[in-house]
């Protein structure tokens, strides 16, 4: 599978998607968003893929935002289309992925780039990473879910400050706010993401998919997350993975999950 704006490879259960416009700091133009949609959809369907890692090409940027030059002359209707596409084709696709998605944030992670990272289940940042939602400095607001996902991750007060000042936070500050899970030197970034992915791959992929659904239900309007948890929990009992996991525990051996 080839893409104009991405590198994509699956090795030993891990699909790495690398946004590849380094001369534009990996800014998300239309074609890149659609490439990401195709790559993520393909990984979600690929039985050889168990975990997805998204990162940026080069050592300077993860993604420096939506492509400002592309949208600078948009009408209101075109802007709505842009936001709709960012939500459904990209961020919702990631958040509701059947497989875990890890953002490996290797530098500037701004605007739509931070919104993309926040849609991922886990964020790992290199120590040089800088994060911001600077849209108000352009006379607009975040449009790929940033006003919703940032307060979920860091609380409303911090989200107001980040969005209203547009100020950048460095990796350590992002860690202290809960915006990223880990900070590591840039050389070790992909390695750490791999080791997190490998721990996940030792577990039941069916149970992980169920956990993603239940955790996401926490922030869905009109959805009772406790009910979703009960449904997902009970359905696990009808899987071969559950039989294998409990049997392995009882017989003091390592589980070998068929759903993997
Ligand atoms: N959209 C389109 N192009 C972008 C971009 C974006 N969001 N971010 C960076 N680029 C392009 C620059 O235009 C430049 O391209 P050029 O060489 O053709 O002029 C190239 O990437 C390198 O960026 P440059 O600004 O020269 O790098 P820098 O090191 O001086 O500054 C940033 C880095 C991240 C501080 C700066 O690029 C920036 O502020 N980018 C926009 C961030 C933003 O507001 N994002 C939110 C968008 S909603």
Confidence band, pLDDT 50/70/90 cuts, at residue 260: low
The H or E element containing residue 169 is strand 169-170
The reported pLDDT for the residue numbered 132 is 98
The whole-number average pLDDT for the span 96-104 is: 98
The answer to whether residues 195 and 209 belong to one domain is no
- The model's pLDDT over 117-155, given as tens digits with 9 standing for 90+, comes to 999 999 999 999 999 999 999 999 999 999 999 999 999
- The model's pLDDT over 170-212, given as tens digits with 9 standing for 90+, comes to 999 999 999 999 999 999 999 999 999 999 999 999 999 999 9
Task: Check if 68 has its Cβ closer than 6 Å to any atom of ligand 1.
Answer: yes
The answer to whether residues 176 and 242 belong to one domain is no
Please check whether residue 138 lies inside any domain of the structure. Answer: yes
- The model's pLDDT over 11-61, given as tens digits with 9 standing for 90+, comes to 999 999 999 999 999 999 999 999 999 999 999 999 999 999 999 999 999
Contact 63, 28 (CB under 8 A): yes
User: Where in the sequence is the domain holding 213, given as residue range(s)?
Assistant: 205-250
The answer to whether residues 197 and 211 belong to one domain is no
The answer to whether residues 169 and 236 belong to one domain is no
The reported pLDDT for the residue numbered 1 is 82
CA of 211 from ligand 1 middle (Å) equals 37
Please check whether residue 67 lies inside any domain of the structure. Answer: yes
In the chain, the number of structural domains is: 2
Q: Which residues are catalytic?
A: 115, 135
SS3 assignment for 76-133: HHHHHHHHHHHHHHHHHHHHCCCCCEEEEECCEEECHHHHHHHHCCEEEEECCCEEEC
Q: What is the CATH number of the domain that holds 168?
A: 3.90.226.10
pLDDT above 70 as % of the chain: 100
The reported pLDDT for the residue numbered 71 is 97
pTM: 0.97
Q: Which of 21, 23, 24, 82 maximizes ligand 1 atoms within 8 Å of its Cβ, making it the mutation to test the pocket?
A: 24
The answer to whether residues 190 and 210 belong to one domain is no
Please check whether residue 260 lies inside any domain of the structure. Answer: no
Confidence band, pLDDT 50/70/90 cuts, at residue 259: confident
Q: What is the mean pLDDT of the chain?
A: 97
Task: Check if 182 has its Cβ closer than 6 Å to any atom of ligand 1.
Answer: no
Residue with CA nearest ligand 1 atom 8: 64
The whole-number average pLDDT for the span 222-246 is: 97
CA of 60 from ligand 1 middle (Å) equals 11
Contact 218, 226 (CB under 8 A): no
The answer to whether residues 118 and 223 belong to one domain is no
Task: Check if 115 has its Cβ closer than 6 Å to any atom of ligand 1.
Answer: no
Residue with CA nearest ligand 1 atom 39: 64
With a CB cutoff of 8 Å and minimum separation 6, the contacts of 20 are 3, 5, 6, 7, 26, 57
The answer to whether residues 69 and 124 belong to one domain is yes
């Amino acid at each position: 599978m080839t893409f104009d704006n991405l590198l994509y490879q699956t090795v030993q259960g891990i699909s790495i998607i690398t946004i590849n416009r380094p001369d534009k700091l990996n800014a998300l133009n239309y074609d890149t968003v659609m490439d990401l949609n195709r790559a993520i959809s393909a990984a979600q369907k690929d039985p050889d893929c168990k975990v997805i890692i998204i990162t940026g090409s080069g050592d300077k940027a993860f993604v420096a935002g939506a492509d400002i030059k592309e949208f600078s002359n948009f009408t209101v209707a075109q802007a709505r289309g842009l936001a709709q596409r960012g939500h459904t084709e990209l961020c919702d696709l990631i958040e509701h992925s059947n497989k875990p998605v890890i953002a490996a944030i290797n530098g500037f992670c701004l605007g739509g780039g931070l919104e993309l990272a926040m849609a991922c289940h886990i964020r790992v940042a290199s120590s040089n990473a800088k994060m911001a939602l600077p849209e108000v400095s352009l006379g607009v607001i975040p449009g790929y879910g940033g006003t919703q996902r940032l307060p979920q991750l860091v609380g409303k007060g911090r989200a107001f400050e980040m969005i209203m000042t547009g100020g950048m936070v460095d990796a350590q500050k992002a860690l202290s706010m809960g915006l990223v899970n880990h900070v590591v030197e840039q050389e070790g970034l992909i390695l750490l993401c791999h080791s997190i992915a490998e721990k996940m791959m030792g577990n039941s992929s069916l149970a992980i998919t169920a956990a993603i659904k239940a955790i996401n239900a926490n922030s869905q309007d009109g959805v009772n997350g406790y009910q979703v948890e009960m449904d997902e929990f009970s359905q696990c009992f009808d899987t071969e993975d559950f039989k294998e996991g409990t049997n392995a525990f009882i017989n003091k051996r390592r589980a070998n999950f068929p759903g993997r």
